A and B are shown apart, each in its own frame.
Chain A
């Protein structure tokens, strides 16, 4: 098993926002309270004049951000994913996505590992809502380095972006050299029997599952795909053709999320067996992360079991 170094994800969000402030004078942060939780407090402390605080009013947060963007600012609207996405879903659709206003929406506390605070502070259907918006770029993040890189990308990119970001101390998979690439997945580990295709925070467990599978003589690849929209269809097609079995991983409901996005690609091009790791059309609860990983079958043994099911279906199809 990998012995992961851990780092707090929300600290990376807070620090990177300050870095963005240092680099780009046009960057503003729009808060809807929660600055202490999502760590945008660091930006506020350094750049009080560049912080817009609307209070607990996410619909207004999005509309104000759109107005700020219209005069050339790059507003980062930062709050919990539940409130940043669907609480203001129509404002995002009409005032940001349709009009292509250059607003960056940061959904912190995405997924279920949000400090044992229960369902109302988790978010498992934001990817589904955001990726259905035609002009939206949707990114999920795995560790502190991917968080930083995705935020830097968003500041440079012209157009609406939604980024999912976790909260807790979390395994560090990448290093400082990591660079997010829009629409690109990346192999972390080669494999010829099955590929574990990950978007977001379950990445270390995908790596551990691949090691488990290897110990059982199964060659499992690991591909990380933070860019959910646009998605790396070329790489998915390669995997479909050359490997022929896929497990998708996401801290999100399997209905409508990253797994669905992958399945849309395979179904249209080269259908192969897919098993989806994620919330199985269910809500979570407040509990320590280990307990939630086990409850929702997100642990490496469960991932390995899913990989074997996909591999088994592949082999039966090919008989």
Chain B
């Protein structure tokens, strides 16, 4: 595997008495598109919140490009882009203003140009001057991705990026992720339930079950390992059965 960009060692998180992440060890290499799978409440969002520095783990360590997400927060936030599950932006501002503001906070020298170029790159330059508050779910998702990549991060975190999107939106998002990975060399970490999307986009997968990482391998190796299963959905069920 290539040099690890994301590394989790014995990662734990506890909400009061509820242990939602249990000693998770995970290593994701440069340029990979990683699909993080698991049932609702498995701990995927908690793991992503820790990796994006929004939450401090109660145990273990997590690093991005060698920087610790707790002690080197500033360096980590320069390296990552984040699209939350529920895309929220400043509704009273236009798409370009939202992007420009966030780019400035990330230290982008010419934030206005970066915002314009990002919108053009994602094919949504027509939305630049419109107020975000009036956008549909699909539009918000595209602007959400734009804000996540406006500072050209090294690693992109997407939390349930296809939720609420229509089939065209899902397809568009898939193409965008592949494009970002191919053109800009971004490593992508994606929480998702959409197994068919994972098989079309991801290079590696991990399965989280009640806070425990029960499976982690490349898509190719997974298909080889479970040759009798018809789809990734069958494999997912099988992995869950094996774990229990």
B partners with A: no
Measured CB to CB, the residues of A under 8 A from B are none
Binding site for A on B (CB under 8 A): none
